[in-house]
Amino acid sequence: MQSYTIGQAARLLGVSPDTARRWADAGRITTHRDGTGRRLIDGRDLAAFSVELARPGSAEEDTPYTSARNAFPGIVTAIKLGDVAAQVEIQAGPHRLVSLLTREAVEELGLEVGMEATARVKSTNVHIDRV
């Protein structure tokens, strides 16, 4: 069976290695040590934990309700405003996402360069949620 290091598990879960380590220390996810002393997580345990983590109600209370499931939390790096349309760029970890939306939407969200935002991808559209 495939096993994952804390760092690999963190990357797959979309969290920092410190968060994954805290979850393991708290007993939320089971680990074992290999011959060199590294903490590993069995693939089946990691799969089950990832499903549990994704269940509704497991996230923070202020998480918005949305039908778009592919969320990329990040920081707004650029905003280009036109008369009617706008372009917003978000850097979410290694991912650069660009959304074309209305100027009105950017203004209503109060988006500014440097603020946190979440890009939600559904099909070929990128939706922006203010954090």
pLDDT digits 0-9 by tens, 59-92:
554 555 565 568 888 888 999 999 999 999 998 8
Chain centre distance of CA 41: 21
**pTM of model > 0.75:** no
Which residue intervals of the chain are DSSP H helices?
Answer: 6-13, 17-25, 43-54, 103-109
First-residue to last-residue Cα distance in the chain: 39
pLDDT the model gives residue 86: 97
The contacts of residue 64 (CB under 8 Å, 6+ apart) are 129
In terms of phi and psi (left: phi > 0; alpha: psi -120 to 50; beta: otherwise), the region of 125 is beta
Q: Per residue in 17-51, pLDDT tens?
A: 999 999 999 999 999 999 999 999 999 898 888 88
